Structure formats: structure tokens, C-alpha cells
Chains A and B, each alone.
Chain A
Amino acid sequence: MKIAVCIKQVPARDAVLRLNAESTWVRETDVSFEINEPDIYALEEALRLREKRGGEVAVCTLGPERAAQALKEALAKGADRAWHLDDPAFQNLDAYATARVLAAAVARENPDLVLTGLQADDDGFAQTGVILAEMLGWPHATIIMEIQASEKALKVKRELEAGWFQWIEMPLPAVLTIQSGINKPRYATLKGILAAKNKPLQKLGFEGLGLAPEAVSLRQKISKIYAPPKSGKTEFLEGASKEIARKLVEKLKNEARVI
């Protein structure tokens, strides 16, 4: 089985976020980056499917030069090869345009299965995998917590709200968006890190993908980002730890009457 995993590099979870000069995104020079969390689970799922069924795992990212690090990490964990979609024209794309570029890359390779994380923790679109399926003309399922694959078909467990699930069956090829917690992701070993150096990492740009100019036209645009307005309802308790503890218990007892 040939599996492609689309991953994204996003600011680290505990990064302190500052706005860029135009307040249209965060200042990327300030933060360290990591692989988007659900994408790590998607990659792990692909590696496990390969271990069970044979085949190969290719990882793909659309992102600037720094994103090559995410691909190297994925190769170190065991992916067989990587494609890096990097072009000045690929900056600040919306979910639709991102999916369009990814679709062009995936179509060249024709895998049996594409996995993505269910959303990116930076822009939070939760759409790219689904739109990618539409552009490829393949079936899809979202928020997946288990995959059973056979030669030509999939049976997957889809998470529903409030602790419910359902099984979904579909033919291959297909696109799945993977939920965090589906497995226990592995760490890269030293051997893996060394092996990664010899694995193919191919760079593809706008022209290499044979895209038409309108492929990267936007359907939505961020005009401004900012800290959420504060409701000011929260009462903050300050002081040394002991003092905070005393004040809090006082309030819980006398104001809130919960102890």
C-alpha cells in the first residue's frame, strides 16, 4: 500500500506569540516550530499500516524553507521519502488553495491512501484534508480513531460527539483526517536519524507542479489578528503562593460557598 501523509509545521505549543508588524499573523522569527500534533499521529498510523501491509510512506508538506525540518523528522521516524512544496507563491494560502496545491502533488504520485491531521493548531481550518479529497475525487472520512485496511478497502472508526463513534467503510483510494490519540507515536531513533540523511527529499515549486496561476487564488483572507477581547469577569488572585491559597479558599468558602 502506498500512503501519502500531509503534515504541517506550526509554532510550538508553548510558544509566546507576538503579532507581526501588520497584525496579520504571528511574528515567525520569534518562535520555534514543530510538527502539528494530529499530523504526528497521522504519520504514525501510516508507518504502522506499512509495517502491517507493506508498501511505502511518503510525507509531504507545503511550507517555507524551515518546514524541511518537519520532513527530516518524519524521515527519521521511518517515512521513506518526502516532498517539500515550497514556492513564494505558496505563502499564506487558505485551506482551498493549500488543498489545490497538495492535490497536484498527490496526483503525480497516485497513492492508495492519503492521511492528514484533522486540523492544524495554528490556523485551525480543519478543512484541508476534506477539500483535498474533493479535488482528487476520492471518498473521505474525518476525525478517525482506528484504521483497518485491506487491499482495496478501508474500515475506519470515526469519532462523533460526546464519546460516540461509528464505523465507516469505503473503497480505496481515500483520504482520512486523523484525530490525536489514535495511537502512541514513536520517537525517532539515532539509527533513524542517520538513515534519514540518505532518504530522498524532493523540492517542488509552482512550476514543477504544473499549476495554473489561479490555483493559488484565495477565497478567504485574514485582515487582522489580535488577542481575544477580555470579558473582565475573572477575578485574579495575586500574591505569594500561600497567600493566594488562603484568599482562594476564603472566596470558595464565603463567596462561592462551594466548600
Chain B
Amino acid sequence: MGDEVLVFAEHHGGKPARAAWEALAGGQRLARDIGAAVATVVAGEDVAALADELAGAELSEVVALTSPLLRDYTPDGYTAALFQVIEQRQPRFVVFSHTYQARDFAPRLAAREGRGLIGDCLGYRRDGDRLVFVRPVFQGKLCADTEFVGEPPYFVSFQAAAFREDSVQRGAAPARVTSVAASLTPETIRAQAGEPFREAKQAVDLTQARAIVAVGRGIKGPENLELAKKLAEALGAELGASRPICDSGWLPMDRQIGSSGQTVAPHLYVALGISGAIQHQVGMKGSRTIVAINKDKEAPIFEIATYGVVGDLFEIVPPLIEEIKKKKPA
């Protein structure tokens, strides 16, 4: 059993993804805590430049895993190729960031190894000689201390920003890069991936907005959007929404804020009836001032709000509009 933490480095457009650095930061910490070495693996058709860039981090080794069949990410290709690396190295931990890509193949990879993946972790702590991983359940309303059962390798993925990309330890000298050719045949890859694209229509650019009033499922029905619009007007704000509002067609997709919508950072973000699921938070937590109005005092949105109002938005918003009109210089 190699005493190693192996970090999967995701990349896009020839650069390590932010998620790769975050996973490396998490992997380095975990390795320090358990007294193991930390290595990273990056997969693709030609990953020499990527591997060199990753080698700047303090690592025992960078594994450059290549095959012409790894040119595009596919779950079949990545699972098969990484399985070979894990079989050969037998790491104690395999660490991912909980991205769409990791969600897509990491459970499959762990299952092929016959092992479990503790996914979407906020972090971990040591409890004597046990490692306890903390992950959100019930859409972030509760946390669950979760532990591995059985033998390693243990697979774990960390939520975005669980570790800071700038906390990656740099090495005194570049880490050793080892090239490994994955042995894949075209038949391995059953699900073939097309080029990424965006839907043509993207009429609203919320990234430039100074202020945003965002509505969530607490708005109840499309007939109540008028109230939010009035508040937005009074504040000179754009209207945004959580995903279910756009899913229901009450507002167009280009008003959606979050991991599958736009990422915004206005001076003022007012969240009306939004619970604050992680996928929403990642799209707006960079806002300078966040106001949350929600009738559930346990709603996760309050964790990141500057000002919180526990109450019924239908009671709070009308007087709020009045006050703003009074206070605003004409």
C-alpha cells in the first residue's frame, strides 16, 4: 500500500482549472495530516505543458497520463485510464474537486475499484486517528460527519472553495513529471462527447449589473414577479433568479444565477425567497453587500448575507420599496 494522496487535476483550454489547484491544496493538507506523499495526475492527449505547470506545486510527482483517446473528456476514457494509474500506485486517498466532470466519472472510477466516494465535502477534520469528512445534506440545511468504512483507496471530492487555490504550497524545485501511456482501445469509449456550446440567446449580461434583485421559489408564482420588479426599479437593479424560477419558465434562462447560470458580483444583491443552495451561492457570494429575505431562519443563504431579514417577503418588500423611494435622492 503506497502511502500517497493522489490528486486529480482537471483542465480546460490547456490550463489547469481553478478546481485543480483547489484539489491540490486540499490534497497537500490531507497528505501532511496523514504523513503521506502527494502526487497529481493530469489526463489528456498531450499534457506536457499542463504537467510542467502543475509541477510548480510541492508534489512528489506529476503523472502525465496520455492517450489519443483522452483528447476530449469522456467518462469511459477517464475512468479506464485513471483506473490503471490507481491500480498501479495504490494510493491511500484519491482527491477531486466536486465539479461537473468529477460528478460525471469519479463515482464510476471509485466503484470500479470497489470503493466508495465521499462527495461534495466542505472539509475534513481529524478526530484522534480517524478522519471525519464533513458534507452538506438536505441541500445545505444540515451537515453530515461522514467516515470511510473498509479498505483504501478512499475517494473524496471537495466542494468549490473548500480549499483556496492560492494556498497551494509551491515547491523549491519543479516536481518530477512521469509520462504514463494509458492503454485504451476505441471500443472503451462508448459515450462520445461533442464540442461544448452555449445556447445562442444570451440577451442579459448580469455580470455588469451594479445591483441585482434575485427571486427564488419563495416568490410562489409568476404573478408575484411584479413585486420584485418594482423593488428592482426602486433600487436601479437588474432582476435575477434561482434556477427553479427559470426552469418553470417564469423568467428566461439568461436571468439565472449560479453554477449553471451567470456568476455575478454586484455591489448589492437582494435575495428574495432563495434558500441559498451551494449551486446558487457560487454564482453570487462575491457580491459586496448581500441582503437575504427568507421566512426560514435556518436557510443557508443567511450564512453569507450581510443583512438578514427572517420573515415573509410579501410583507417586507412593499414597505421596503416605499422606504427606498423616500430615501433616494430624487
A221, A229, A253 pick with most chain B CB within 10 angstroms: A221
How many chain A residues touch B (CB < 8 A): the figure is: 76
Residue from B100, B138, B193 within 8 A of A11 (CB atoms): B138
Interface of chain A residues 153 through 178 with chain B (CB within 8 A)? 159-171, 174
Q: Which residues of B contact A96 (CB under 8 A)?
A: 110-111, 116
Q: How far is the CB of B10 from chain A (nearest CB, A)?
A: 11
Q: Can you offer 16 A-B residue contacts whose CB atoms are under 8 A?
A: A17-B142, A123-B137, A124-B136, A134-B108, A140-B108, A141-B191, A166-B194, A166-B195, A168-B194, A170-B192, A180-B244, A181-B244, A221-B149, A230-B303, A236-B310, A253-B327
Q: Contact residues of A with B, CB < 8 Å?
A: 11, 17, 26, 94-96, 99, 121-127, 130-131, 133-135, 139-143, 159-171, 174, 180-181, 184, 217-231, 233-238, 241-242, 244-246, 248-253, 256, 258-259
Q: Is the CB of B104 within 8 A of A142?
A: yes
How far apart sit A241 and B108, CA to CA, in the bound complex (Å)? Answer: 51
Q: Is the CB of B139 within 8 A of A124?
A: yes
A227 and B119 contact, Cβ closer than 8 Å, known pairs A236-B308, A259-B327: no
How many chain B residues touch A (CB < 8 A): the figure is: 89
Q: Is the CB of B323 within 8 A of A256?
A: no
Q: Is the interface of B mostly helix, strand, loop or mixed?
A: mixed
How far apart sit A26 and B144, CA to CA, in the bound complex (Å)? Answer: 11
Query: Is residue B302 contacting chain A, with contact meaning CB distance below 8 A?
Result: yes
Query: Is residue B178 contacting chain A, with contact meaning CB distance below 8 A?
Result: no
Interface residues as binary, B58-83 with A (CB distance below 8 Å gives 1, 0 otherwise): 00000000000000000110010000
Q: Is the CB of A224 within 8 A of B117?
A: no
Q: Is the CB of B320 within 8 A of A133?
A: no
Q: Is the CB of B268 within 8 A of A252?
A: yes
How far apart sit A18 and B328, CA to CA, in the bound complex (Å)? Answer: 43
Q: Is the CB of A95 within 8 A of B320?
A: no
Q: Is the interface of A mostly helix, strand, loop or mixed?
A: mixed
Q: Is the CB of A131 within 8 A of B147?
A: no
Q: Is the CB of A124 within 8 A of B135?
A: yes
Query: Is residue B90 contacting chain A, with contact meaning CB distance below 8 A?
Result: no
A234 and B302 contact, Cβ closer than 8 Å, known pairs A134-B108, A161-B260, A218-B149: yes
Q: Is the CB of B136 within 8 A of A245?
A: no
Q: Is the CB of A256 within 8 A of B261?
A: no
Q: Is the CB of B107 within 8 A of A130?
A: yes
Residue from B147, B194, B323 within 8 A of A246 (CB atoms): B323
Q: Is the CB of B111 within 8 A of A135?
A: yes
Q: How far is the CB of A127 from chain B (nearest CB, A)?
A: 4
Interface of chain B residues 267 through 312 with chain A (CB within 8 A)? 267-268, 288-289, 291-292, 298, 300, 302-311
Interface residues as binary, B130-165 with A (CB distance below 8 Å gives 1, 0 otherwise): 001001111111111111111000000000000000
Q: Is the CB of B327 within 8 A of A139?
A: no
Q: Which residues of B contact A241 (CB under 8 A)?
A: 311, 315-316, 319
Residue from A94, A139, A164, A218 within 8 A of B191 (CB atoms): A139
Q: Is the CB of A159 within 8 A of B260?
A: yes
Question: 11 extra interchain contacts, Cβ-Cβ under 8 A, other than A124-B120, A170-B191, A241-B311?
Answer: A121-B138, A126-B107, A162-B262, A163-B260, A217-B149, A219-B116, A226-B142, A233-B306, A236-B310, A256-B306, A258-B267
